[in-house]
Structure 1
Amino acid sequence: MPRLHAIELLPDDAGCDVVRRDWQALSDAGLPSQLDHRGTTNSPHATVVAAPSLGADDEQRARELVAPLLPVEVGTGGIALLGGAKVSLVRLLDVPDELVRAVLDLRSGLAVQHAGWLPHVTLARRVRRVDVPAALEVLGHDDAMLTLTTLRRWDPEAGIVTTL
């Protein structure tokens, strides 16, 4: 499966710390965690678009539609499971309607991986379903606020991250 190009929203340092605490708690409990992802571009983020390709026009549209809304404060809501036999464990984000509209406008007309937009930050991938109760116990139920401050573009073919 080819790696997907992406446009992502990143939190400020305090928000990264909130997410990384969850990553660390899972890792300390011997559970899968995004800390296991050793890529140099691995950082807490919310994917806005994941597509087989993105061009300069798509980047410009992201700058015009999404970037003006930053910084934006978002709440972390519940925890959700995405996937099948093994799941991704994510924290849902409660984002303002204006940002949702901008992201959906950006995604329209693109060959995106998934329809719609489910704003979230990934905590762990490939979690066995049997390990989900332990992961939920480790993470607890506290909500937090994150400030999304940066819009970036990931080009997996060139291995380049560009701040938009």
Structure 2
Amino acid sequence: MNIVLINGSPRPKGTSALLSDEFIKGATAKGHCINVFNAAKEELHPCIACDKCRTAANGCVFKDGMEKLNPLLLSADMVVFVTPLYYFGMSSQIKIAIDRFYANNSALRAQPKKFAVLATCGDQEDWTFDALKLHYESLGKYLNWELIGSVYAEGVYVREDIENSSYPERAYEFGSSL
């Protein structure tokens, strides 16, 4: 399977990075091809709702990191979203990339894909991930993509917290189950 993993964490050695790394290990062990797009490391402009992507032949007015992501998205069988939880939502880095899906809206909605979510947070209340889960479920419904799994790691403020938990193993097992 051709998988694109969109990493929205600005911390290359943070809690989300560990989940991502373990998922990748599990999926590649089963022979899947993984392309990683680090949204926090790319130059990305927010969508400005100019609609040039719909009315001009040359697509989005911004020629930035999305030029790398768009072909990966369009050829992927599966998309994995990786984000830390920031104020009960996804990171702004991954949100910018998702908002820019608009330039390929029709094509993305017409392509059945699988998707998954890997997310981390420090809080442990049972409702902490509710808004994030709903956002991704709504995104999947809109795009006609199938949510096939997730790992929501709570109570992991720092790398040591997640290293001493079962979440990395869960991410690996999820990747290897594909």
Higher strand share: 1
TM-score by length of 1: 0.30
Higher helix share: 2
TM-score by length of 2: 0.28
